[in-house]
Homo-oligomer: A and B are copies of this chain.
Amino acid sequence: MFSKSCEYAIKAMIFVAQKSNADTRVGIKEISKGTDAPEHFMAKIMQDLSRRKLIHSVKGPNGGFYMDASDLKNSIADIVKAIDGDVIYSDCVLGLKVCSEKNPCPVHFEYKEIKKSLIKMIENNTIADFNEKLDTGMYFLKNK
């Protein structure tokens, strides 16, 4: 559904939210281990997220990434838009460049409703929400 980059980005945001606070930062190594993502690739993604102000970073010794209260208010949709753009809002099951009310593919109207709930899901779930969930220890960001 999302690009690999985007999957990693979401996982990283959730992971950092869990592990960081005002003066505890999380480094790339820890993030990539905690989310089961390739280190160098994840580094690049973190820099994207940082450039787009979805997360804070500090250089140097004891540096790393962290999230403040306003970062925690971001939704999954904000991350997806930052990394994958708005394909999720415009994509077509059959791959039509333009698939709309006026120019619908054969499944346009059926998919429309599903897409609506999909968008609702990613827009209504904030990082803070996941933070609480993960605290229960009943959810996972990686398999092994």
Mark A residues whose CB is within 8 Å of B: 1-2, 4, 7-8, 10-11, 14, 76, 91, 93-98, 103-108, 110-111, 113-114, 117-118, 121, 125, 130, 133-134, 138-143
Contact = CB atoms under 8 A, between A and B. Distances in A.
Contacts of A117: 113-114, 117
Contact of A94 (B7, B107, B111, B113): B7
Nearest to A10: B94
A132 to B, nearest CB: 10
Contacts of A118: 114
Contact of A93 (B1, B96, B98): B1
A118 to B, nearest CB: 6
10 contacts: A2-B93, A7-B93, A10-B94, A14-B106, A98-B143, A103-B140, A105-B140, A106-B133, A107-B121, A117-B117
